[in-house]
């Protein structure tokens, strides 16, 4: 709207002079209220600033001067306090009709009917309020409100530079005022953690709001738009490697916003009004935020998050403040706050300082969560608007067990936390005692409790937990943490080191499972750009078979790395037996090559598959003669059985692992495998939870491969189960499923004094 730009521009030009003048801050404020009052032909213009927790009238034109530094309102008190509290604009033709209206006689404001006010915001907090009042009862025009909002941005800079509001004290005070706050989410990784909030993508503080050279600012925004669009296009093209369904939607929306002419036009108009590029982007964002707040459609609000992300990205580009908190390094014990993270992004953080993660999205079997679990970092997901409610540097307590985040925890909560931590340590010490105890059920059945791994350091957990071996080594993690495709010798070295470290214990290496939510920027292809559903698309073995070079190199590396050891190779996402044959053929030809060259070979080679695509279960009879072992990947299997994207937070809680559908499916696989001599196990996240593990053992599963932290608890569980008894109970439940399988299993365990989580 050119009118808005012109109005704001004329005010900003005058403000610029005021700001540059060498006068005292109070004199500047006095001048400013005059300029604004004049420009908006308002009898009254006032500035309230936060001082000692109260909004104090600092300058006014039109109200009684004797009220200056006398009239004070609490945050949330009266119209001005409401604006500050909600960080929202009010525009009323009759102020007295608003429910929060309060009359202050010392101001002499009774004769003014219309009222408009905007918050003065810095770092997402209201540090003051700018108001205008008018005798005649009329609403202010949109143009005028916009001009006020623009001026408020500039005022925020002036107030900050003049030190009129003690922002540090403001932090402490607002912390004390709002006190402790508890947010609820979804339990993704158990555990307790305490630390300071750090945003994965730090918020940029805008230092300069008034432009020196409008054309230069326009150029900066143009360039930033170009760069941002390039980034979004690159991200969309990478989606080939599998960003989950949810991600894809987000990218589409990003793209739509990134190319939205209306958005760039509005930013340009804000620049026309005299703002810097950063301030103009923020100004437009404020306006959008306000509009969105008026529409209470949850779908639109989700889109608003996307637009916020994009606007932040644009501001970061324009101000050159790029990079995530991982790049700048963590200073303290940290609780990382993000909308969502990829596994590779999480791996960039310093493990010693990263104590917990809180996400707005996330789901139980997303790979970032699997990585966090392996790192032993508690994660809470699906915490609505956590990025809006938490501030950088806030003290946070993450209770991954109860799926709660406490912001600024009080002493009582901290004491309770310490007690629980101590109890947890004690329990862990008890589990540690089981390290060298072989897991037998109460009726003497040996259950193999293996662990999942993927990083070189994970192998150390074998010794610490006493796991029976590594039932799933996710080789793609090495690819995820590398900037480029790992060369063969690096792969060989890793596999060799893992086997050396594992000693006598068995390690099952899974060939690369790239795709789905594990994307690699350096590995792209034509296929995937049209992949609408990457989790079901060109991923894992499908990709490896086609990129034969990739599998060939890995086969050589595994065969050479395992020289002198038993090699166990497992192929992911096998959907039909011929895929197994094709993958094994790649190994066979590499083996023949090494034999011919008289290289040292593995002492034995066992081949197996992941059973995670339901179709494979229908042809088990064809598969069994070919393989030595099968590992059921319940993470993918459940997503395919329920047709529910494992990375989609909206579906994260919809289906239960303990549903008759899954349990009956698994039982059928167990039965059809019995007597074949093929070793059957489960390596999905499900097996690491006590109640789920109980169900799996009840189905006759004798090998679990789970996250290292669960090895102790599951060993303890095993020792308390009578396998025949739970088997019988499971038979009955599956013949005629109770309305709530989870409840039935829990009750069964409780009756026997078995603790489940």
Instruction: Say how far apart CA 285 and CA 670 lie, in whole Å.
Output: 56
Q: Shortest Cβ distance from residue 639 to Mg ion (Å)?
A: 9
Does 708 participate in binding ligand PEP (rule CB under 6 A)?
A: no
Work out what residue 684 binds among Mg ion, ligand PEP, none; the CB cut-off runs from 5 to 8 Å by kind.
ligand PEP
In the bound state with ligand PEP, the residue whose beta carbon lies nearer, of 131 and 528, is 528
Q: Shortest Cβ distance from residue 578 to ligand PEP (Å)?
A: 21
Half-sphere exposure of 33 (CA within 13 A, CB side): 26
Which of 468, 636, 645, 692 binds Mg ion (CB under 5 A)? It is: 636
Instruction: Say how far apart CA 13 and CA 183 lie, in whole Å.
Output: 44
In the bound state with ligand PEP, the residue whose beta carbon lies nearer, of 338 and 370, is 370
In the bound state with ligand PEP, the residue whose beta carbon lies nearer, of 254 and 629, is 629
Residue 377 tokens, joined: 């970092």
Residue appearing with tokens 């608890």: 713
Does 633 participate in binding Mg ion (rule CB under 5 A)?
A: yes
Does residue 734 contact residue 664 with C-beta atoms inside 8 Å?
Answer: yes
Q: Shortest Cβ distance from residue 370 to ligand PEP (Å)?
A: 6
The residue at minimum Cβ distance from ligand PEP is: 633
Which span (393-401, 429-437, 462-470, 627-635) binds Mg ion, by CB under 5 A? 627-635
In the bound state with ligand PEP, the residue whose beta carbon lies nearer, of 194 and 657, is 657
Does 684 participate in binding ligand PEP (rule CB under 6 A)?
A: yes
Angle subtended at Cα 280 by Cα 1 and Cα 156, rounded to the nearest 5 degrees: 115
Q: Shortest Cβ distance from residue 512 to ligand PEP (Å)?
A: 11
Residue appearing with tokens 């979804």: 186
Instruction: Say how far apart CA 695 and CA 685 lie, in whole Å.
Output: 13
In the bound state with ligand PEP, the residue whose beta carbon lies nearer, of 472 and 559, is 472
3-state SS of 415-430? HHHHHHHHHHHHHHHH
In the bound state with ligand PEP, the residue whose beta carbon lies nearer, of 206 and 627, is 627
Residue appearing with tokens 């039965």: 671
Q: How many residues bind Mg ion (CB under 5 A)?
A: 3
Residue 62 tokens, joined: 């039109």
Q: Shortest Cβ distance from residue 513 to ligand PEP (Å)?
A: 5
- Which helix or strand (DSSP H or E) is residue 115 part of? strand 114-122
The residue at minimum Cβ distance from Mg ion is: 636
Query: Which stretches within 259-393 are classed as H helix?
Result: 261-272, 277-294, 298-319, 325-328, 343-347, 367-375, 386-389
Does 692 participate in binding ligand PEP (rule CB under 6 A)?
A: no
In the bound state with ligand PEP, the residue whose beta carbon lies nearer, of 71 and 638, is 638
In the bound state with ligand PEP, the residue whose beta carbon lies nearer, of 190 and 474, is 474
In the bound state with Mg ion, the residue whose beta carbon lies nearer, of 8 and 508, is 508
Instruction: Say how far apart CA 730 and CA 710 lie, in whole Å.
Output: 23
Instruction: Say how far apart CA 402 and CA 396 lie, in whole Å.
Output: 14
Work out what residue 649 binds among Mg ion, ligand PEP, none; the CB cut-off runs from 5 to 8 Å by kind.
none
| Window 605-644: contact mask with ligand PEP (x via CB under 6 A) | -------x--------------------xxxx--------
Q: Shortest Cβ distance from residue 684 to ligand PEP (Å)?
A: 3
Q: Shortest Cβ distance from residue 478 to Mg ion (Å)?
A: 17
Angle subtended at Cα 179 by Cα 178 and Cα 183, rounded to the nearest 5 degrees: 90
Q: Which of residues 217-276 bind ligand PEP (CB under 6 A)?
A: none
Instruction: Say how far apart CA 403 and CA 167 lie, in whole Å.
Output: 32
Instruction: Say how far apart CA 645 and CA 151 lie, in whole Å.
Output: 46
Q: Shortest Cβ distance from residue 696 to ligand PEP (Å)?
A: 13
Q: Shortest Cβ distance from residue 253 to Mg ion (Å)?
A: 27
Instruction: Say how far apart CA 654 and CA 725 lie, in whole Å.
Output: 30
- Which helix or strand (DSSP H or E) is residue 569 part of? strand 566-571
- Residues with Cβ within 8 Å of 490's Cβ and at least 6 positions away in sequence, in order, are 478
Does residue 130 contact residue 120 with C-beta atoms inside 8 Å?
Answer: yes
Q: Shortest Cβ distance from residue 242 to Mg ion (Å)?
A: 12
Q: Which of residues 161-180 bind Mg ion (CB under 5 A)?
A: none
In the bound state with ligand PEP, the residue whose beta carbon lies nearer, of 381 and 633, is 633
Q: How many residues bind ligand PEP (CB under 6 A)?
A: 11
In the bound state with ligand PEP, the residue whose beta carbon lies nearer, of 225 and 571, is 571
| Window 488-527: contact mask with ligand PEP (x via CB under 6 A) | -------------------------x--------------
Residue appearing with tokens 């396998």: 723
Work out what residue 251 binds among Mg ion, ligand PEP, none; the CB cut-off runs from 5 to 8 Å by kind.
none
Residue in 407, 361, 364 with CA at minimum distance from that of residue 382: 361
Does 577 participate in binding ligand PEP (rule CB under 6 A)?
A: no
In the bound state with ligand PEP, the residue whose beta carbon lies nearer, of 121 and 494, is 494
In the bound state with Mg ion, the residue whose beta carbon lies nearer, of 362 and 515, is 515
Residue in 182, 205, 151, 121 with CA at minimum distance from that of residue 36: 151
**Residues pairing with 706 in the sheet:** 451
Q: Shortest Cβ distance from residue 613 to ligand PEP (Å)?
A: 10
Instruction: Say how far apart CA 374 and CA 707 lie, in whole Å.
Output: 6
Q: Shortest Cβ distance from residue 712 to ligand PEP (Å)?
A: 20
Q: Shortest Cβ distance from residue 749 to ligand PEP (Å)?
A: 24
For the chain, the residue count is: 757
In the bound state with ligand PEP, the residue whose beta carbon lies nearer, of 82 and 568, is 568
Work out what residue 634 binds among ligand PEP, Mg ion, none; the CB cut-off runs from 5 to 8 Å by kind.
ligand PEP
In the bound state with ligand PEP, the residue whose beta carbon lies nearer, of 92 and 617, is 617
Work out what residue 478 binds among Mg ion, ligand PEP, none; the CB cut-off runs from 5 to 8 Å by kind.
none
Which span (358-366, 382-390, 495-503, 632-640) binds Mg ion, by CB under 5 A? 632-640
Q: Shortest Cβ distance from residue 728 to ligand PEP (Å)?
A: 28
Residue 78 tokens, joined: 């009266």
In the bound state with ligand PEP, the residue whose beta carbon lies nearer, of 183 and 472, is 472
Whole-angstrom distance between the N-terminal and C-terminal Cα of the chain?
58
Q: Which of residues 323-382 bind ligand PEP (CB under 6 A)?
A: 370
Which of 683, 693, 745, 749 binds ligand PEP (CB under 6 A)? It is: 683
Instruction: Say how far apart CA 368 and CA 37 lie, in whole Å.
Output: 54
Q: Shortest Cβ distance from residue 683 to ligand PEP (Å)?
A: 5
Q: What is the DSSP string of 175-211?
A: HHHH--EEEE-EEEE--EEEEEEEESSPPPPP---B-
Q: Which of residues 448-487 bind ligand PEP (CB under 6 A)?
A: 472, 474
Q: Which of residues 597-626 bind Mg ion (CB under 5 A)?
A: 612
Range 78-102 burial, b when 16+ CB lie within 10 A, else e: bbbbbbbbebbbbbbeebeeeeeee
Q: Shortest Cβ distance from residue 635 to ligand PEP (Å)?
A: 3
Give the sheet arrangement for strand 44-51, strand by strand.
Answer: 72-74, 54-61, 44-51, 125-134, 114-122, 90-92
Distance of CA 518 to the CA centre of its chain: 15
Instruction: Say how far apart CA 247 and CA 236 lie, in whole Å.
Output: 10
Does residue 512 contact residue 518 with C-beta atoms inside 8 Å?
Answer: no
Instruction: Say how far apart CA 340 and CA 358 lie, in whole Å.
Output: 9
Instruction: Say how far apart CA 373 and CA 380 lie, in whole Å.
Output: 11
Residues near Mg ion (CB under 5 A) are 612, 633, 636
Residues near ligand PEP (CB under 6 A) are 370, 472, 474, 513, 612, 633-636, 683-684
């Amino acid at each position: 709207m050119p009118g808005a730009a012109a109005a704001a521009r004329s005010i900003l030009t005058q403000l610029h002079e005021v700001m540059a003048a060498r006068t005292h801050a109070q004199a500047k404020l006095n001048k400013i209220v005059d300029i604004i009052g004049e420009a908006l032909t308002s009898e009254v213009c006032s500035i309230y600033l936060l001082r000692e927790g109260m909004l104090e009238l600092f300058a006014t034109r039109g109200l009684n001067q004797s009220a200056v530094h006398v009239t004070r309102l609490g945050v949330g008190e009266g119209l001005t306090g409401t604006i500050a509290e909600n960080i929202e604009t009010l525009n009323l033709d009759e102020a007295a009709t608003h429910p929060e209206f309060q009359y202050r006689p010392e101001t002499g404001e009774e004769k003014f009917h219309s009222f408009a006010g905007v918050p003065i915001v810095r770092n997402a907090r209201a540090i003051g309020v700018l108001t205008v009042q008018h005798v005649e009862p009329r609403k202010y025009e949109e143009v005028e409100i916009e001009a006020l909002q623009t001026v408020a941005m500039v005022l925020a800079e002036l107030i900050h530079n003049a030190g009129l509001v003690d922002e540090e004290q403001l932090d402490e005070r607002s912390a004390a005022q709002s006190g402790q706050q508890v947010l609820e989410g979804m339990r993704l990784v158990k555990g307790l953690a305490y630390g300071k909030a750090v945003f994965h993508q730090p918020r940029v503080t805008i230092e300069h709001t008034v432009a020196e050279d409008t054309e230069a600012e326009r150029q900066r925004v143009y360039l930033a738009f170009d760069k941002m669009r390039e980034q979004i296009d690159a991200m969309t093209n990478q989606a080939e490697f599998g960003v989950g369904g949810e991600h894809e939607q987000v990218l589409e929306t990003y793209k739509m916003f990134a190319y939205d002419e209306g958005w760039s036009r509005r930013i340009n108009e804000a620049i026309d009004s005299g703002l810097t590029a950063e301030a103009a982007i923020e100004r437009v964002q404020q306006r959008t935020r306000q509009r969105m707040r008026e529409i209470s459609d949850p779908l639109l609000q989700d889109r608003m998050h996307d637009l916020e992300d994009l606007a932040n990205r644009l501001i970061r580009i324009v101000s050159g403040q790029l990079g995530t908190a991982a790049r700048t390094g963590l200073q303290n014990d940290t609780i990382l706050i993000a909308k969502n993270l990829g596994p590779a992004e999480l791996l960039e953080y310093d493990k010693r300082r990263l104590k917990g993660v809180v996400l707005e999205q996330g789901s139980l079997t997303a790979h970032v969560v699997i990585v966090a679990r392996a790192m032993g970092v508690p994660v809470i997901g699906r915490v609505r608007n956590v990025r809006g409610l938490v501030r950088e540097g806030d003290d946070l307590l993450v209770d991954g067990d109860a799926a709660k985040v406490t912001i600024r925890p009080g002493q009582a909560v901290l004491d309770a936390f310490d007690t629980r931590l101590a109890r947890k340590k004690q329990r862990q010490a008890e589990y540690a005692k089981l390290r060298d105890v072989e897991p037998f059920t109460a009726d003497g059945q040996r259950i193999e409790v293996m662990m999942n791994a993927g990083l070189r350091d994970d192998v150390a957990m074998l010794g610490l937990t006493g796991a029976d071996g590594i039932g799933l080594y996710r080789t793609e993690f090495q690819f995820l943490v590398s900037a480029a495709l790992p060369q063969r010798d690096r792969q060989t070295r890793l596999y060799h080191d893992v086997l050396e470290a594992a000693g006598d214990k068995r390690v099952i290496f899974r060939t690369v499972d790239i795709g789905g939510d594990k994307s690699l920027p350096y590995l792209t292809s034509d296929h995937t750009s049209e992949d609408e559903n990457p989790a079901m698309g060109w991923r894992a073995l499908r990709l490896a078979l086609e990129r034969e070079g990739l599998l060939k190199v890995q086969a050589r590396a595994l065969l050479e790395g395992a020289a002198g050891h038993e090699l166990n190779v497992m192929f992911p996402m096998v959907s039909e037996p011929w895929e197994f044959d094709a993958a094994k053929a790649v190994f066979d030809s590499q083996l023949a090559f090494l034999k011919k060259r008289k290289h040292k070979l593995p002492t034995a080679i066992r081949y197996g598959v992941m059973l995670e695509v339901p179709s494979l279960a229908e042809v088990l009879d064809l598969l069994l003669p070919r393989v030595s072992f099968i590992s059921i990947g319940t993470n993918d299997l459940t997503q395919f059985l329920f047709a529910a994207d494992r990375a989609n937070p909206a579906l994260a809680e919809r289906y239960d692992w303990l549903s008759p559908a899954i349990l009956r499916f698994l039982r059928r696989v167990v039965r059809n495998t019995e007597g074949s001599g093929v070793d059957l196990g489960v390596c999905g996240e499900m097996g690491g939870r006590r109640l789920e593990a109980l169900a799996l053992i009840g189905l006759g599963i004798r090998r679990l491969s789970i996250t290292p932290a669960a090895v102790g608890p599951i060993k303890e569980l095993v020792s308390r189960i009578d396998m025949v008894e739970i088997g019988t109970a499971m038979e009955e439940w599956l013949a005629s499923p109770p309305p709530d399988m989870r409840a039935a299993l829990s009750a069964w365990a409780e009756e026997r004094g078995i603790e489940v989580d």
